[in-house]
């Protein structure tokens, strides 16, 4: 069974802002076009180092990419993302693809995402659906105006079921993405993939552990990425020699013990 794909080699491409597709609370969805270069091909869950001229490069997974377009969902987290959200750069650049693609041969796959984690899961939903899987994509946010309009990337796919959850009940199920799983038979999926805030991944890690499903769980993690190229070691998964930017960002549940010890609140 092939899960992770091996394809090394980065390329740089200059970008020009095409359109602002959406603005939400502390978030923005941007569509860029290549400028006299060929956009690198991204496999599901791979990411790019997105360069904001004069500031720095930050890791971003494209929510959509084709030969002549690449879209990024950016959420305000620090000074660079603030600049992008408030003043999207008209000129930018990317180096990529970073990390390994994640390509599970699944019959039925459950994807659970929140925050910018959803940007990794949308291409995975598209890939899995086109490869014959039944896909359930659960997307959680605090409130309606934090939910990016991901439907636009899924509308040509029949085998993707989208379940939305908001903490305040302003759209979809009232509660978290994990609460929304109470209406879903989690054990009926052969793969469960999580991407989003650590608290959400922790909750899913625990749920999978309690139900004996840890061997089906995979998580796309977000750790500190500095170089993005396997040089600096800042993105090492705890208690392993695996680097998120080289072997990740998706890791199996069986590798997450130490990560969970560090990141997850103890049970009450
Ligand atoms: S970010 Fe430097 S090694 Fe991964």
Burial 12-47 (b: 16+ CB within 10 A, else e): ebbbeeeeebbebeebbbbbbebeeeebbebbbbbb
- Domain CATH for 40: 2.40.30.10
pTM of the model: 0.93
CA atoms within 13 A on the CB side of 126: 21
Separation of 17 CA from ligand 1 center, angstroms? 27
Instruction: Please tell me whether residues 170 and 259 are part of one structural domain.
Output: yes
Q: Please check the confidence at residue 2 and state whether its pLDDT lies above 50.
A: no
Contact predicate 123/249, CB 8 Å: no
127 in a structural domain: yes
User: How confident is the model over 24-53, as a mean pLDDT?
Assistant: 95
Candidate of 60, 224, 233 to mutate for ligand 1, largest count of ligand atoms within 8 Å of Cβ: 233
User: How confident is the model over 56-84, as a mean pLDDT?
Assistant: 95
Q: What is the pLDDT of residue 267?
A: 73
CA atoms within 13 A on the CB side of 262: 7
Instruction: Please tell me whether residues 161 and 220 are part of one structural domain.
Output: yes
- Domain CATH for 154: 3.40.50.80
Burial 92-131 (b: 16+ CB within 10 A, else e): bbbbbbbbbbbbbebebbbbbbbbbbbbbbbbbbbbbbee
| Closest ligand 1 atom to Cα of 230 | 3
User: How confident is the model over 96-113, as a mean pLDDT?
Assistant: 94
| Beta strand 11-24 pairing with 27-34 | antiparallel
Q: Please check the confidence at residue 4 and state whether its pLDDT lies above 80.
A: no
Band (pLDDT 50/70/90 cuts) for residue 231 is confident
User: How confident is the model over 161-182, as a mean pLDDT?
Assistant: 96
Domain carrying residue 64: 8-98
Number of domain units in the chain = 2
Instruction: Please tell me whether residues 119 and 77 are part of one structural domain.
Output: no
CB 234 near ligand 1, within 6 Å: yes
Q: What is the pLDDT of residue 265?
A: 84
């Amino acid at each position: 069974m092939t899960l992770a794909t091996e394809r090394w080699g980065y390329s740089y491409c200059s970008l020009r802002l095409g359109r602002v597709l959406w603005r939400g609370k502390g978030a923005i969805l941007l569509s860029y076009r290549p400028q006299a270069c060929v956009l690198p091909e991204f496999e599901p869950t791979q990411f790019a180092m997105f360069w904001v001229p004069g500031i720095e490069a930050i890791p971003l997974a494209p929510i959509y990419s084709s030969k002549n377009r690449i879209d990024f969902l950016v959420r305000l987290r620090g000074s660079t993302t603030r600049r992008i959200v408030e003043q999207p750069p008209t000129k930018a650049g990317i180096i990529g693809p970073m990390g390994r693609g994640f390509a599970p041969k699944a019959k039925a796959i459950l994807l659970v995402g929140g925050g910018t984690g959803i940007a990794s899961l949308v291409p995975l939903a598209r890939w899995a659906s086109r490869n014959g899987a039944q896909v359930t994509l659960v997307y959680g946010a605090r409130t309606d105006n934090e939910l990016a309009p991901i439907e636009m990337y899924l509308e040509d796919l029949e085998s993707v079921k989208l379940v939305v959850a908001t903490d305040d009940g302003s759209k979809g199920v009232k509660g978290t993405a994990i609460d929304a799983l109470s209406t879903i038979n989690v054990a009926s999926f052969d793969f469960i993939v999580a991407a989003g805030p650590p608290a959400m991944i922790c909750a899913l890690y625990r749920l999978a552990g309690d139900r004996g499903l840890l061997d089906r769980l995979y998580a796309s993690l977000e750790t500190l990425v500095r170089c993005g190229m396997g040089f600096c070691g800042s993105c090492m998964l705890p208690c392993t020699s695996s680097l998120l930017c080289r072997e990740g960002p998706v890791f199996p549940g069986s590798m997450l013990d130490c990560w969970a010890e560090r990141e997850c609140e103890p049970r009450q």
